[in-house]
Chain A
Amino acid sequence: MNQRNTTRAILAVVIAAALIVSVGSLTALHTFPADATKPKHNDDNGNDNNGGDNVVNTLPQQPQLAPLSMETAANTGGSVESDDVATLQQQVQPQQQVQAQQQVQAQQQPDETPGASTNAACGQVVSGVVNLTANLNCSGGDGIIVGGPNTVINMN
């Protein structure tokens, strides 16, 4: 009987200890996120960068700030380049260059496309189909210069 009582008492103690540990762990899990965010803000506000989270936070900030500086440099016509920004140029500039090239090509295509119907000026190099809609007075200079094969000039 004494042995049964002692074993029951031991089991009860073990169960109670397990309950305490489990409840404690649950409370700890609930408290970690709140505690985990607080040090980051505190570190960003001037504490030394000792933890791995600080490195992760600072790395995203560099690409966010660097392109802004590049954009302002490009708009002002400057040519500021640095080693820190070099990798960002490779990521950002190709997309901007492709878009800019597409816009320029879209603007230039109507003028260069053979078959476009346009008027011409004195000394202008023309190609495609040119319909003259007004008189040209080219005193002392060249008239129209044909710049491509199969050009058709319909005079006014």
Chain B
Amino acid sequence: MVPNVDNVVVNGPGSLSNFQAGVLLTGANGFKISSVILSNNQIGTFMTGADNAQVQQNIIQGNSIGVASHSSTGAAIDSNLMNGNLLAGITFVNTQQSNIGMNNVVGSQNGVFLDGQSKQNTISANNVLENVIDLNNANGLPTNINANQYVDNSCETSNPSGLCIGR
């Protein structure tokens, strides 16, 4: 739990399992977690009101949601392996100016989900496969409405369609 403290770093290797939230960020700025296994939690990493958080090079599996970001800005979720997170690999709610890049997201209802209030985010170079919906932009909202960019993502299904490379 990281409540309202800045520049906290969690370095792996290690694992966080069976919590409501493996990592809970509330109002924290500049948090970074890397090389950690987040498994069998309700939410692997839950950030709310957090700025400039970095979630990099972690294994996130068997959670209900892998990474959830609410009312946050500047998050960077890069190079993570996500497998079997039941509801979603990554969800953004009212989250702006954040990046999701180079992640593998497999085996969820929604691989990556952004709600209608999440704007100016970039989702690039991810492998999002074998999910019910791989990329979900506000349940089909055109990406020019909330100004999110989907670039070079390897996936099979998206809502709206056309967010996967070559499709």
Footprint of B on A, CB under 8 Å?
Answer: 132, 138-139, 142-156
Report which of A139, A144, A147, A154 forms a contact with B5, defined as CB distance below 8 A: A147
Footprint of A on B, CB under 8 Å?
Answer: 1-3, 5-16, 18-19, 36
Nearest neighbor of B37 in chain A, beta-carbon distance? A155
Bound: A62/B3 CA distance, A = 57
Contact partners of B3 in chain A: CB under 8 A: 145-146
Contact partners of A153 in chain B: CB under 8 A: 8-11
Q: Is the beta-carbon distance between B14 and A156 smaller than 8 angstroms?
A: yes
List 14 other contacts, CB 8 Å, given A151-B5, A152-B8: A138-B19, A143-B1, A143-B16, A143-B19, A145-B1, A146-B5, A149-B5, A149-B7, A151-B7, A151-B9, A152-B9, A152-B10, A154-B11, A155-B11
Q: Is the beta-carbon distance between B19 and A155 smaller than 8 angstroms?
A: no
What's the least CB distance linking B151 to chain A, in Å? 33
Contact partners of B11 in chain A: CB under 8 A: 152-155
Closest 6 CB pairs of A and B: A155-B14, A149-B6, A146-B2, A152-B9, A145-B1, A153-B10
25 CB-based A-B contacts, threshold 8 Å: A138-B19, A139-B18, A142-B1, A143-B16, A143-B19, A144-B1, A145-B1, A146-B1, A146-B8, A147-B5, A149-B6, A149-B8, A150-B6, A150-B7, A150-B8, A151-B8, A151-B9, A152-B10, A152-B11, A153-B8, A154-B11, A155-B10, A155-B11, A155-B12, A155-B15
Nearest neighbor of B16 in chain A, beta-carbon distance? A143
Contact partners of A147 in chain B: CB under 8 A: 5
Nearest neighbor of A142 in chain B, beta-carbon distance? B1
Nearest neighbor of B13 in chain A, beta-carbon distance? A155
Nearest neighbor of A147 in chain B, beta-carbon distance? B5
Contact partners of B5 in chain A: CB under 8 A: 146-149, 151
What's the least CB distance linking A68 to chain B, in Å? 50
Bound: A156/B1 CA distance, A = 17
Nearest neighbor of A131 in chain B, beta-carbon distance? B11
Bound: A13/B115 CA distance, A = 132
Q: Is the beta-carbon distance between A132 and B14 smaller than 8 angstroms?
A: yes
Nearest neighbor of B7 in chain A, beta-carbon distance? A150
Contact partners of A139 in chain B: CB under 8 A: 18
What's the least CB distance linking A57 to chain B, in Å? 65
What's the least CB distance linking B48 to chain A, in Å? 15
What's the least CB distance linking A112 to chain B, in Å? 15
Nearest neighbor of A127 in chain B, beta-carbon distance? B5
Contact partners of A144 in chain B: CB under 8 A: 1
What's the least CB distance linking A20 to chain B, in Å? 97
